[in-house]
A and B are shown apart, each in its own frame.
Chain A
């Protein structure tokens, strides 16, 4: 009995965290003004949000054939979502002439130069 309740609690916790992730992703992808922030927010939903949803389903339902397929979906998304973010940012990097101004304004330029 206690074990079932703990399982249900973990499942609900995962689902709520996933919903928080997706809310952040939706708000960020629509509200942020700078493209890198938007892509980052979208990537959070695609990776962590989906993973937590799958985890909560596995916790709630047990591990069967359907959940194995879910795992494959998660692996697929973890491969593809970062790559798509990477490609988007690469296009931005090559096409936006004001990108370095933005980086300088944030004070990131000094940091990267120190890093070198």
Chain B
């Protein structure tokens, strides 16, 4: 009997219906009156909008034909996609079977990667030398994403005067600005330099070990975010403005495009390019891989901090 009771309790606890600590230390929070009122108003407005006869008639007339069409198209396109994918899978080499085309490329990378790219890290040699245009596209995608977020979230004179924005501006500034906090500041002084040094280390060692532009840039961007959390936007705005962000991203991407375009142009025409490969293992080695890593890292860092800044206050580097 006792056992069944316990079992019952355990399964209720597992489902979330029963709280063991309810009487001892839990204080279930009362629902927020204000929030409930807002929800009720919104629901009422929605019902009012949808319950009027005219709109109901329009919606039902639209739906009747459209949903049949939609269902039919969805089924047909799903079957077509499944068929195409199954056909493609059928063409792949079987598991464990030797695939001459794939082996040719990977063997080339493994055997001659060090000699041809000068990078100890084969992956860096692949993504920034053999397939550099792929990485260039990825960097441009990041930059385009930053521009899109800027189009959607940037605050300017046209959308700053509404009541909604003002309300959220004031509330969020008061509650979620941690930069005045003593603990955060003191720990920030200790942590931020270490993060920046670590990020630069990852960035500069991409050709010799794990790391490279994307991971190093992500660490740098995270360091910038922690820097902002600890010291506030006033300090960051003094060196990281919208112009600086855009200029750094543009210069990095342009340098990447021109440098790699030059190398590919010379290589495709069997000409000698004048970029020294250096001694493998040294920091200044790998030809163009180190500067390209730095370029990618700067773009990633600018994008990450730009996202954070746009989501937090609606602008990069000051309104």
Which positions in A face B, CB cutoff 8 Å?
31-34, 37, 76, 79-80, 83, 86-87, 90-91, 94-98, 101-102, 105-106
Chain B residue at minimal CB-CB distance from A86: B183
Is B184 in contact with chain A by the CB < 8 A criterion? yes
Task: Give a binary string over B14-42; 1 marks a CB under 8 Å from any A CB, 0 the rest.
Answer: 00000101100111111010000000000
Given known contacts A37-B25, A76-B194, A95 and B187 CB-to-CB distance under 8 angstroms: no
- Contact at A105–B27, with CB atoms within 8 Å? yes
Given known contacts A33-B19, A91-B176, A83 and B184 CB-to-CB distance under 8 angstroms: yes
- Contact at A79–B191, with CB atoms within 8 Å? yes
Is B181 in contact with chain A by the CB < 8 A criterion? yes
Partner of A87, one of B30, B174, B181: B181
- Contact at B183–A102, with CB atoms within 8 Å? no
Is B87 in contact with chain A by the CB < 8 A criterion? no
Q: Quote the shortest CB–CB distance from A70 to chain B (angstroms).
A: 15
- Contact at A94–B175, with CB atoms within 8 Å? yes
- Contact at B187–A90, with CB atoms within 8 Å? no
- Contact at A106–B187, with CB atoms within 8 Å? no
Partner of B21, one of A32, A80, A95, A97: A32
Taken together as a complex, chains A and B put the C-alpha atoms of A37 and B27 apart, in Å, by 11
Q: Which residues from A are CB-within-8-Å of B178? A: 87, 90
Q: Quote the shortest CB–CB distance from A32 to chain B (angstroms).
A: 7
- Contact at A80–B187, with CB atoms within 8 Å? yes
140-188 of chain B: CB within 8 A of chain A: 174-176, 178, 181, 183-184, 187
**At the interface, is chain B mostly helix, strand, loop or mixed?**
loop
Q: Which residues from A are CB-within-8-Å of B27? A: 33-34, 101-102, 105-106
Taken together as a complex, chains A and B put the C-alpha atoms of A95 and B181 apart, in Å, by 16
- Contact at A34–B26, with CB atoms within 8 Å? yes
Taken together as a complex, chains A and B put the C-alpha atoms of A31 and B184 apart, in Å, by 28
Taken together as a complex, chains A and B put the C-alpha atoms of A34 and B30 apart, in Å, by 12
Is B190 in contact with chain A by the CB < 8 A criterion? yes
- Contact at A91–B194, with CB atoms within 8 Å? no
Q: Which residues from A are CB-within-8-Å of B30? A: 98, 101
- Contact at B181–A79, with CB atoms within 8 Å? no
Query: 8 closest Cβ contacts across the A-B interface?
Result: A102-B27, A33-B26, A83-B187, A94-B175, A87-B178, A105-B27, A86-B183, A95-B175
Q: Which residues from B are CB-within-8-Å of A94? A: 174-175
Q: Which residues from A are CB-within-8-Å of B19? A: 33
Q: Which residues from B are CB-within-8-Å of A79? A: 187, 190-191
Q: Quote the shortest CB–CB distance from A40 to chain B (angstroms).
A: 11
Taken together as a complex, chains A and B put the C-alpha atoms of A98 and B35 apart, in Å, by 14
Please name 7 further chain A to chain B contacts, defined as beta carbons within 8 Å, in addition to the given A87-B181, A96-B29, sorted by A numbering: A33-B19, A33-B21, A86-B183, A95-B175, A101-B27, A101-B30, A106-B27
